[in-house]
């Protein structure tokens, strides 16, 4: 497969691999129509896959669904999950600049070069996943559904890039040839001239947390004029652990390794109101307070390590013209980031492009208020 991109500074890459798969799934009813067990089912699934370059591997899942009453259901699963490396993780290698503090030279700071990217021989990562939760639909509040789930994921051999600094520090501390063999030095000055920073299977990665969802639907009579209904929904995620090795990165939103950012809390609440052909959708997105880097101390590595919480409001208004030309016409207006909120300050610096960044675009809205108007026709 070739990767051809226009108007970006990413080089083309080429590569391919083959995969063979076998899959089976079954549902086993265990109990039905008993006190405190209206229904108890066992879900079983298994998959075998053979990837060229890494060989065969199994994945499986076992889950229980226990409907105790019409109001309350418990659920839980345990599984072995796998993920093979993508084409990019296997074949896309590019040269980039990198800064390093070299412990072999008295922590001298300088800029070096890295080959960053693909490794065709990287193995699939394995994850042991355990989830348990409950769904409550009370009879006294028709239309209300609340679910709470806890999850724990332990990844073995996670496919990941290390930072140049991590490779150099690990070589210095352990003299491990796996890390030291990635470093090339100038024979005269002793400075690092190149680091082979390709994807590898790191030791382990652990993720855990809670997911909460609440949904409420109800027909109402407020303004009249047409069939009225309200839907309110809340989705919240509270992460308790995102650990790579011994470091827990929960609460870090800066672009330092591992780079993507992992807020402790995220939430989305939305309200939908329909009245005949008229529709209104209002949404609030929330990202909790965090740190730029969990390893930084305010006043030492950074002046202010605190990152403020972020709130974004979205609005959608629509009107449906039914029956025109034997079809449905919908006119709509979307406004994203209604109050034009700026992203919180998350300063970072890229040696490769030689510029600084004010925030993390993977998490926060960097574009500000924007409008979309349209006309949709269904036939």
pLDDT tens, 104-120? 998 888 988 888 878 88
Nearest in space to 321 (alpha carbons), one of 332, 312, 313: 332
Whether 19 is covered by a domain: the verdict is no
pLDDT of residue 265: 97
What does the alpha-carbon distance between residue 181 and residue 203 come to, in Å, rounded to a whole number? 18
pLDDT band at 355 (very low <50, low <70, confident <90, very high): low
Please determine, for residue 16, whether its predicted confidence score (pLDDT) is greater than 90.
no
What does the alpha-carbon distance between residue 22 and residue 11 come to, in Å, rounded to a whole number? 35
The larger pLDDT score, comparing residue 56 to residue 355, is at 56
What does the alpha-carbon distance between residue 113 and residue 161 come to, in Å, rounded to a whole number? 15
Q: What domain range is 229 assigned to?
A: 98-378
pLDDT of residue 145: 97
The mean-pLDDT minimum among 88-92, 95-99, 131-135, 318-322 falls in 88-92
| Residues whose CB is less than 8 angstroms from the CB of residue 21 and which lie 6 or more positions away in sequence, other chains included | 47, 48, 49, 50
CA atoms within 13 A on the CB side of 102: 20
- For residue range 294-337, what is the model confidence (pLDDT) as tens digits? 888 888 878 889 999 999 999 999 998 876 666 688 899 999 99
Most confident of 51-60, 91-100, 106-115, 141-150: 141-150
pLDDT of residue 45: 96
Secondary structure percentages of the chain, helix, strand, coil, to 5? 5, 60, 35
Whether 55 is covered by a domain: the verdict is no
Whether 89 is covered by a domain: the verdict is no
What does the alpha-carbon distance between residue 338 and residue 238 come to, in Å, rounded to a whole number? 26
Task: Kindly tell me the sign of the dihedral angle through the C-alpha atoms of 169, 175, 181, 183.
Answer: positive
- Number of domains the chain contains: 1
Whether 174 is covered by a domain: the verdict is yes
The mean-pLDDT minimum among 11-20, 92-101, 363-372 falls in 11-20
pLDDT of residue 4: 45
The region that residue 204 occupies, defined by phi over 0 for left and psi between -120 and 50 for alpha, beta otherwise, is beta
pLDDT of residue 23: 93
Task: Kindly tell me the sign of the dihedral angle through the C-alpha atoms of 288, 292, 297, 298.
Answer: negative
Please determine, for residue 2, whether its predicted confidence score (pLDDT) is greater than 50.
no
Whether 3 is covered by a domain: the verdict is no
Whether 44 is covered by a domain: the verdict is no
Q: What angle do CA 51, 53, 59 make, to 5 degrees?
A: 35
Please determine, for residue 6, whether its predicted confidence score (pLDDT) is greater than 60.
no
Q: Is the peptide bond before 214 cis (omega within 30 degrees of 0)?
A: no
What does the alpha-carbon distance between residue 59 and residue 66 come to, in Å, rounded to a whole number? 24
Cβ atoms 269, 281 nearer than 8 A: no
Query: For all residues of the chain together, what is the average pLDDT?
Result: 87
pLDDT of residue 209: 97
What does the alpha-carbon distance between residue 256 and residue 252 come to, in Å, rounded to a whole number? 9
Whether 265 is covered by a domain: the verdict is yes
Share of the chain above pLDDT 70, in %: 92
CA atoms within 13 A on the CB side of 124: 21
Most confident of 15-24, 60-69, 174-183, 225-234: 60-69
Please determine, for residue 3, whether its predicted confidence score (pLDDT) is greater than 50.
no
What does the alpha-carbon distance between residue 211 and residue 358 come to, in Å, rounded to a whole number? 30
Q: Which helix (H) or strand (E) covers residue 279, if one does?
A: strand 278-287
CA distances from 144 to 121, 149, 192, 231 (A): 50, 17, 61, 10
- For residue range 204-260, what is the model confidence (pLDDT) as tens digits? 889 999 999 999 999 988 888 778 999 999 999 999 999 887 789 999 998 776 778
Cβ atoms 270, 214 nearer than 8 A: no
The residues facing 99 across adjacent strands are 111
pTM of the model: 0.78
Mean pLDDT value of segment 161-167: 84
Whether 303 is covered by a domain: the verdict is yes
3-class SS of residue 170 = helix
């Amino acid at each position: 497969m070739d990767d051809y991109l226009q108007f970006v500074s990413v080089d083309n890459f080429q590569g391919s691999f083959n995969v063979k798969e076998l899959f089976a799934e079954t549902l086993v009813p265990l109990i039905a129509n008993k006190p405190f067990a209206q229904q108890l089912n066992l879900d079983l699934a298994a998959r075998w896959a053979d990837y060229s370059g890494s060989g065969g591997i199994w994945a499986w899942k076992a889950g229980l669904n226990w409907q105790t009453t019409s109001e309350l259901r418990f659920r839980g699963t345990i599984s072995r999950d796998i993920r093979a490396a993508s084409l990019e993780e296997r074949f896309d290698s590019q040269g980039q600049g990198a800064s390093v503090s070299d412990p072999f030279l008295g922590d001298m700071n300088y800029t070096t070069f890295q080959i960053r990217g693909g490794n065709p021989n990287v193995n699939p990562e394995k994850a042991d996943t355990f989830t348990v939760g409950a769904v409550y639909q009370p009879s006294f509040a028709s239309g209300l559904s609340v679910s709470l789930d806890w999850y724990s994921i332990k990844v073995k051999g996670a496919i990941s890039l290390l930072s140049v600094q991590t490779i150099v520090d690990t070589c210095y501390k352990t003299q491990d040839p796996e890390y030291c063999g990635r470093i090339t030095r100038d024979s005269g000055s002793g400075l690092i001239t190149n680091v082979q920073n390709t994807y590898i299977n790191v030791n382990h990665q652990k993720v855990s947390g809670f997911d909460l969802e609440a949904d409420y639907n109800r027909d109402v009579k407020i303004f009249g004029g047409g069939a009225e209904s309200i839907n309110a929904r809340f989705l919240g995620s509270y992460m308790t652990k995102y650990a790579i090795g011994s470091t827990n990165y929960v609460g870090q939103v800066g672009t330092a390794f591992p780079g993507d950012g992992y807020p402790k809390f995220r939430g989305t609440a939305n309200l939908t109101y329909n009245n005949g052909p008229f529709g209104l959708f209002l949404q609030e997105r929330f990202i909790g307070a965090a740190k730029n880097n969990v390893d930084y101390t305010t006043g030492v590595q950074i002046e202010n390590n605190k990152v403020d919480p972020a709130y974004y409001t979205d609005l959608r208004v629509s009107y449906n013209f039914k029956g025109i030309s034997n079809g449905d016409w919908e006119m709509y207006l979307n406004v994203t980031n209604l109050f034009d909120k700026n992203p919180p300050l998350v300063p970072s610096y890229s040696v490769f492009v030689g510029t600084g960044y004010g925030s993390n675009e993977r998490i926060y809205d960097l574009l500000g208020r924007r409008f979309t108007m349209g006309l949709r026709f269904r036939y």
